[in-house]
Copies of this chain bind each other. A is one copy, B any other.
Amino acid sequence: MATRKASKTASAAAGGGTKVTLDMVAAASGVSPSTVSRILNGTAVVSAAKRAAIDRAIAELGFVPNPMARGLAGGRTLSIGVITQAIDSPFYGAALRAIETELHAAGYSPLFVSGHWNPVEEKRCVDLLCARRVDGMIVLDGALSDDQLRNLADSMPVVVTGRKLRAPRLYSLDFDHFEGARLATQHLLALGHRQIAFIGGDPLHADATLRLRGYRAALKEAGVRYHAALVVAGDYRETSGQAAIEQLLARGERFSAIFAANDQMAFGAALALHLRGLRVPDDVSLVGMDDLAAAAHTIPPLTTIHQGPQELGRLAAIALLQLLAGGTPVATPSTPRLMHRASTRPLAAPV
């Protein structure tokens, strides 16, 4: 009782519900369905004459292969699962966009699902994607255990970001968080700052730990003592950056500069300073990390470390495609670099 109306004009004009099948193409071009299938998949060499006839028939009939039949028969779906933490995050959004572009170009469709930083939800995402029989998965950060990931890679190629992990059919990919944080801190040190507050991320995540280490390494290199009281843990969201500064101020800590482990927390920190009547960069210098699109449009424009989530997404997609093709990916995210904007300035000479 399908309500679906068969389009009278067979033309694919509207991109509508084409009902043309491979068998019809075969009949129209006088060859067997097998041959048509082979052409479609590049599975075998076919005589030029037949090839031409088939191509014409396909074009005339407006044939579009049915992915479900294809998937059922061929054992693949040409869809790949992408687990992200929040589809509306400014950071992941850029990565997703790059993944989408890259995958489509290769004939795959991404299936995005969000884990919301919640292990239980993330597990559900994995199950959903498995149920959908995706051909592979890209996991952007998240809280899945290394073991879960290895298990997953047992049944399909997997690319994961945000951690280092070696396993068959599994490729991991990450920014150099340590180096990025080191760079940011060095920048502040070079400007003469010595009392540098650090707003970090959740210490349970590897990237957060690495960023803290980068901060400490830079201090050490410069011979500046590490001061635990100047370090506050946030959760990478604006409000946590704001809260961190309020806490520091309430405790009466003194600092001339702040390094926030991501831009979103830097935005929150800037707001907290503003509400307290402190100006950036006149009273306090501020550095973020990630270089979100918004970083260039805040007041003042934020000095930050460029990490290109877009690039990460692209590399992850390409790596998965290589895995899918049976190859061994080698991807090297470009090294982090400082985007010097208006939120930092040399420390005013001490009176």
Contact A14 B148 (CB under 8 A): yes
By a CB distance below 8 angstroms, the chain B residues around A322 are none
Choose the segment among A123-131, A182-190, A332-340 that binds chain B (4+ C-beta atoms closer than 8 Å). Answer: A123-131
In angstroms, Cα B170 to Cα A84, docked, is 31
Contact B90 A90 (CB under 8 A): yes
Could you say which of B17, B69, B71 contacts A155, with CB atoms under 8 Å apart?
B17
Cβ of A13 < 8 Å from any Cβ of B? Answer: yes
Could you say which of B75, B111, B169, B238 contacts A111, with CB atoms under 8 Å apart?
B111
- How far is the CB of A286 from the nearest CB of chain B, in Å? 11
Contact B15 A126 (CB under 8 A): yes
- How far is the CB of A75 from the nearest CB of chain B, in Å? 6
Cβ of A2 < 8 Å from any Cβ of B? Answer: yes
Contact flags A1-12 to B (C-beta < 8 A → 1, else 0): 011110100000
- How far is the CB of A73 from the nearest CB of chain B, in Å? 9
In angstroms, Cα B16 to Cα A16, docked, is 35
Contact A112 B114 (CB under 8 A): no
If the complex has contacts A16-B151, A238-B297, are A112 and B88 also in contact, measured as CB distance less than 8 A?
no
Contact B109 A18 (CB under 8 A): no
Cβ of A67 < 8 Å from any Cβ of B? Answer: yes
Cβ of A303 < 8 Å from any Cβ of B? Answer: no
Question: Which residues of A209-249 are within 8 A (CB) of B?
Answer: 238-239, 242
Could you say which of B100, B114, B128, B133 contacts A68, with CB atoms under 8 Å apart?
B133
Chain A residues proximal to chain B, CB less than 8 Å: 2-5, 7, 13-18, 64-69, 71-72, 75, 77, 86-90, 93-94, 96-97, 100, 104, 109-114, 123, 126-128, 130-133, 148, 151-152, 154-156, 169, 238-239, 242, 267-268, 270-271, 274, 293-294, 297-301, 326
10 A-B residue pairs with Cβ-Cβ distance under 8 Å, sorted by A, are: A3-B326, A5-B154, A13-B151, A15-B123, A68-B77, A72-B72, A86-B97, A111-B111, A238-B297, A271-B297
